[in-house]
Structure 1
Amino acid sequence: MKDQKWQLPPRPPLEVICHGDFAPYNVVLNGGEVTGIIDFETAHPGARCWDLAYAIYRWAPLSADVAAKDLGELDIQILRACSFLNAYDLPTEQRSALPGMIIDRLNALVGFMESEAADGVERYRRNVEEGHADIYRRDIAYIAEHRSKIIAGLTG
């Protein structure tokens, strides 16, 4: 047990065990009702908001590419993010930090993927080759570009 480590490093402050990838593709539904959450390989100790930031990124989703897939322009994405945060009951004063935290989380993900790929981990080498890191970089730029509008929408 002593030699075991988390796939993703612990991220202070250590408040909870983060899922690490809480996204629609890791939720099991039965008849429209959630019956399970799966894929805990990226679970790691961290802050609630660290996990929440990635969840908002995936569930709203705050992404440059989703508008083309009829998931809405930025205003709709912000409304979905607000709905998620309201259900989570995140205080308004904590919401303004989320866009920056999403950017940090995505940068950490890109760094992890590229490091694993460089170490010869086939799965991550393939992910990088297929452009996954580039998608995250575009989304980082998208969130950074619209940061003020996202903050205003989340806190207003």
Structure 2
Amino acid sequence: MDDERALSGGNATGIVTRVGDTVRKQWSASTPSVHAFMSHVQDRGVEVPTPLGRDERGRQRVEFIPGPLAIDGGPLSADGLHRVGGMVRAIHDASETFTPPADARWDTAIPAPDAQIVCHNDLAPWNLVIGDRWVFIDWDAAAPSTRLWDLAYAAQTFTLSVLEAAPRDAADGLRAFVDGYGASAEFRTRLPLMMHRRAAAMLELLTTAHSHGREPWSSMFADSHGSYWAAVVDYVGANQQTWLDALTATRPASTSEGA
């Protein structure tokens, strides 16, 4: 294709290219289920890259979303974090009415504690475009999970990833994010420990994959990801009370959600 260009970024999706206003990447056994989920969420009014089927080479075609990634800019403001928390909530709410195909297949690297709704499973700054539209991309790891497990990862990656940040400052961002989600009192109480467990699960994936030579996680572990996630686990674990205090301080009443 004359205008096909490789796109940078991404660790687990293989070669990704842009062709015009579309992204092309490998079609896998889970892609039909993922595309069905994306279409459902989009039909419920959530901004999602439109899935466009397969190209003539058998690859998946997905709408290209222009704009920078959140990870490439400075830290999001409190308003920005509140907005992203609301985006996560909208995805979860839309998923509540999704019925997976009878032959659904999913491909996610980290097992979830339960299978209550289908989640994105990688809602993070490296997967959020913040151009004219704010849109989460890279839905290939979508699979059954729980709201709290998915929220824990998103909240940690967006607010507790700068390990040099003073915990009280990071906690302010965490609260803005969780306020945006509209989390219940129960979720706020459980979230600090769940963030620690979710970060530990990521470290376990990288460590185990490295010991068995399983790619791409083995190379990621060696290329600083292992040491980074080990530090994240320590940071999130050591400041549990700070996160809990920030999340459970007096606040406006919020709606409830399923666990």
* TM-score, scaled relative to structure 2: 0.52
Unaligned ranges ≥5, structure 2: 1-28, 30-102, 250-259
1:15 to 116, 129, 138: 116
Deviations 1:130-151 (A, max 9, x none): 2212211111111221111110
Matched with 2:143 is 44
| Corresponding residue pairs, total | 148
1:65 to 157, 163, 176: 163
Runs of 4+ in 1 over 6 A off after TM superposition: none
Matched with 1:118 is 211
Q: CA deviation at 1:23?
A: 0.9
Aligned-partner Cα distance in 1 for 2:175–2:237: 18
Aligned-partner Cα distance in 2 for 1:141–1:9: 19
1:6 to 103, 107, 121: 107
Q: Secondary structure at the match of 1:84?
A: helix
Q: Is the 8 A contact 1:8 1:44 kept in 2?
A: no
Deviations 1:114-136 (A, max 9, x none): 33333433422211112212211
Matched with 2:168 is 75
Matched with 1:27 is 128
Aligned-partner Cα distance in 2 for 1:122–1:49: 28
Distance 1:5 1:89, change over 3 A: closer
| Higher relative contact order, structure no. (Cα contacts within 8 Å, ≥ 6 residues apart) | 1
Distance 1:64 1:138, change over 3 A: farther
Q: Secondary structure at the match of 2:216?
A: helix
Distance 1:108 1:129, change over 3 A: same
Aligned-partner Cα distance in 2 for 1:118–1:83: 38
Task: Say if 2:201 is the partner of 1:108.
Answer: yes
Matched with 1:70 is none
Distance 1:138 1:64, change over 3 A: farther
Matched with 2:223 is 130
Identity among equivalent positions (%) equals 26
Q: Hey, which of these two has a bigger chunk of helix by percent?
A: 1
Aligned-partner Cα distance in 2 for 1:88–1:18: 15
Aligned-partner Cα distance in 2 for 1:138–1:114: 13
- Code of the residue aligned with 2:131 in structure 1: it is N
Q: CA deviation at 1:154?
A: 0.8
Aligned-partner Cα distance in 1 for 2:169–2:146: 27
Aligned-partner Cα distance in 1 for 2:232–2:212: 25
Q: Is the 8 A contact 1:10 1:45 kept in 2?
A: no
